[in-house]
Structure 1
Amino acid sequence: MNTTSHDPAPTGSRVLRGPFRPGDKVQLTDPRGRLNTIVLAPGDQFHTHKGWIEHDDLLGRPAGVTVHSTAGVEFQAMRPGYEDFVLSMPRGAAVIYPKDAALITTMGDVFPGSVVVEAGVGSGALTLALLRAVGDHGRVLSFERRQEFADIASGNIADFFGSPHPAWSCTVGDLAEELPRALEAGEADRVVLDMLAPWECVDVAADALTAGGMLIVYVATASQLSRTAEAVRSTNRFAEPRALESMVRDWHLEGLAVRPEHRMIGHTGFLLFARRMDEGVEPLERSRRPQGSTPDEEDLDAWFEPEITESAIGQRTAPPKRLRKLGRAAGSRARVEAAQDGAATDEAATEGAVTGEAVPQEEVTDDTRED
């Protein structure tokens, strides 16, 4: 018998086990496969054109049960997995999809107890995966230029784990200015850059990384990828970078009718991985650089024209009014739990590790998503 003692239950495990409780997110699936994500609260109802469902009919029951609406339609009730949560949570900007987050944490070798720097927290989708990977004894230091995004991410993290995560902190400001103040040189095991111009932060990332640490960059376009790779090489502080992308395709399974689904998640972004050399040690030179791969002046001009903006690369950010609404929507679990404790205050709902003033919270509406 194994008598090895273990740490108490890690952050987030409580909300993934046991019966449904107030504040839990529940994913309801109808007979046609349509998904609806709701936040349980005593006395509330989920309304649909197929009747409504009392939240009280789910509270206290285990995941994996079915419940009938007032119109007699049967719904399947499950806790949302990581993928479901990310695709249904309040989002103010484009997120790093689960397929890319999986590659970042696995091929980026993010290990328990590691120190990870994340630049560009967005709505917190990647942050959730990083926090799971580093565990309670690691550290994820996020840097975000916009307070609105930091507030949304803080609420989503508290919803996902059931409380603010002890390993997470978020600084609102510019990475190049704030990172040297937050972390000693050589203290980071991994640095993840998710920004429009990551080549501007390669040097500060190299300063923060320990020898053998890894720089991970997520970009949307090939021109961003090319410019970032050349910036990494030009420092002479990283081994040869590796670039890849992932594509995921579901399959239709029904008897002998087994075929690819008509829709798939194709290109979402490129990932670049580069290992940090020890200080003062130059990387091995490539034995042969393919002819024509060295950029000339015209190629360099193409990097700067047109200007790299969110609209230029096909990304969209919600307008300010929408961002404020999303900030109020994130953190719904804390509000419901606080209401159950008789202390439903805005301060309790937005408590977290974000540097800066949080946006006040309000009641969240049911979030509906259809595959």
Structure 2
Amino acid sequence: MTALGADLRRGPFRAGERVQLTDPKGRLHTIVLAPGKQFHTHRGHLLHDDLIGRPDGSTVTNTTGVEYLALRPLLPDYVMSMPRGAAVVYPKDAGQIITMADVFPGAVVVEAGVGSGALAMSLLRAVGEEGRLWSFERREDFADIAMANVRLFFGTDHPAWTVTVGDLVERLPGTVEDGTVDRVVLDMLAPWECLDVVHAALAPGGLLICYVATTTQLSRVGEAMRAHGGFTEPSAWESLVRGWHLEGLAVRPEHRMHGHTGFLITTRRLADGVTPPLRKRRPAKGAYGSSGEGEADDDGAPDDDPVSTGETAEEEWTAEDLGERVPSAKRVRRVRRAVTQTSAPPSL
């Protein structure tokens, strides 16, 4: 049996497929093949019909003699060029999530929020058709865009994927049975608000990984994980990717790089009734504030820090508070309309 979407990655180009064209200067152009249509630039045009039926990795010449290399876009290419409402998880971070969270074929995974569907594609590839991905998204318009993007990528609705519109804290307990989830991925403003329901859903030894944008979020979710008592000591990191220029003897780092996109933090669910071992390394003086209040006790946690004592702050965080660029409602409506109208699977 052929794996879902494999037919769309092999064979000659077909109408309805996305094709990535590379010009002599290395610039990329992504088009959707359609009989009778043309691809225009200021340096001439080429016919889609000249590509339909050609093998992957072919070249095509436009009306002014400019030669283009035609290839099927890879998953990272598709993610970076697809229509989006919310910001996407960059491929470098998606790869870290799949590997460091050990998302395996057949796994049961919970994801919140779904955004534009970029991470869901990587998760679905990892769990396969025998696994299960439960995605939660508060905004219906973002959920529609994500489902259309994923449908376009796989060529049909993925059988392992279920998208639920609503808040994770409210909807997760009624969606999955306690102790049945292998991995949880949280990409949201305040993941510390979800720790109780995530702990209940995870099987013992299950892993939680959070993707956050700022050090403030990272600190708060890390302290909340420690204070919860049902998780192991968290581990946090970020990845930076720098390309290299390769031309003869001119081998050097690129002037531009993919710098900070977000932090990743992981922890594992402890078995019921297990108390995590005490931290042997005490925090440095001032780690929880410069005043005398909130100094760490013998366990290494501050006495009156609201996160460590399980208290919940009253303020509600917004994307604007964290410096994120929020798409306008008009733009989201336009993207939602465009992508849902073109999400029919390509003809085979």
TM-score > 0.5 by shorter chain: yes
Q: 2:320 aligns with which of 311, 320, 325?
A: 311
Counterpart residue number, 2:181: 188
1:32-111 alignment to 2 at 5 Å?
32-111=25-104
Contact 1:253 1:259 in 2 (8 A): yes
Q: 1:211 aligns with which of 199, 204, 209?
A: 204
- One-letter identity of the residue aligned with 1:36: H
Long gaps (5+) in structure 1 = 1-7, 342-371
State the shift of 1:181 in Å.
0.8
Counterpart residue number, 1:369: none
- CA displacement 1:51-104 (0-9 Å, x = unmatched): 111111111111111101112111110111111111100011111100000000
Contact 2:156 2:345 in 1 (8 A): no
Q: TM-score normalised to the size of structure 2?
A: 0.91
Counterpart residue number, 1:258: 251
- One-letter identity of the residue aligned with 2:38: Q
Contact 2:144 2:340 in 1 (8 A): no
Distance 1:190 1:60 in 2: 41
* In the alignment, structure 1 residue 330 sits paired with structure 2 residue 323: no
State the shift of 1:333 in Å.
5.7
State the shift of 1:314 in Å.
2.2
Percent identity, aligned pairs only, is 60
- One-letter identity of the residue aligned with 1:26: V
- CA displacement 1:242-289 (0-9 Å, x = unmatched): 000000000000001100000000110000000110111111111122
1:1-371 alignment to 2 at 5 Å?
8-292=1-285, 293-294=287-288, 308-331=317-340, 334-335=343-344, 337=346
Distance 2:159 2:227 in 1: 37
Distance 2:47 2:128 in 1: 36
- One-letter identity of the residue aligned with 2:242: R
Cα RMSD for the two superposed structures: 2.0
Distance 2:13 2:83 in 1: 21
- CA displacement 1:324-344 (0-9 Å, x = unmatched): 22112325664473xx69xxx
Distance 1:165 1:66 in 2: 32
- One-letter identity of the residue aligned with 2:125: R
Matched position secondary structure for 1:330: helix
Change (3 A) 1:56 1:194: same
Matched position secondary structure for 1:22: coil
Matched position secondary structure for 2:317: coil
Where relative contact order (Cα < 8 A, 6+ residues apart) is larger, the structure is 1
Q: Could you tell which deviates more after superposition, 304-313 or 238-247?
A: 304-313
Q: TM-score normalised to the size of structure 1?
A: 0.85
Distance 1:332 1:132 in 2: 24
- CA displacement 1:193-248 (0-9 Å, x = unmatched): 10011110111111110000000000000010000011111111011000000000
Change (3 A) 1:100 1:272: same
State the shift of 1:47 in Å.
1.2
Matched position secondary structure for 1:230: helix
Aligned residues: 331
State the shift of 1:21 in Å.
0.9
State the shift of 1:310 in Å.
1.0
Distance 1:233 1:300 in 2: 12
Change (3 A) 1:119 1:185: same
State the shift of 1:10 in Å.
1.2
- CA displacement 1:277-308 (0-9 Å, x = unmatched): 0111111111122233346569769x969863
Matched position secondary structure for 2:255: coil
Matched position secondary structure for 1:218: strand
Matched position secondary structure for 2:224: helix
- One-letter identity of the residue aligned with 1:59: I
Contact 1:27 1:80 in 2 (8 A): yes
Contact 2:209 2:267 in 1 (8 A): yes
Distance 2:31 2:220 in 1: 43
Distance 1:310 1:186 in 2: 31
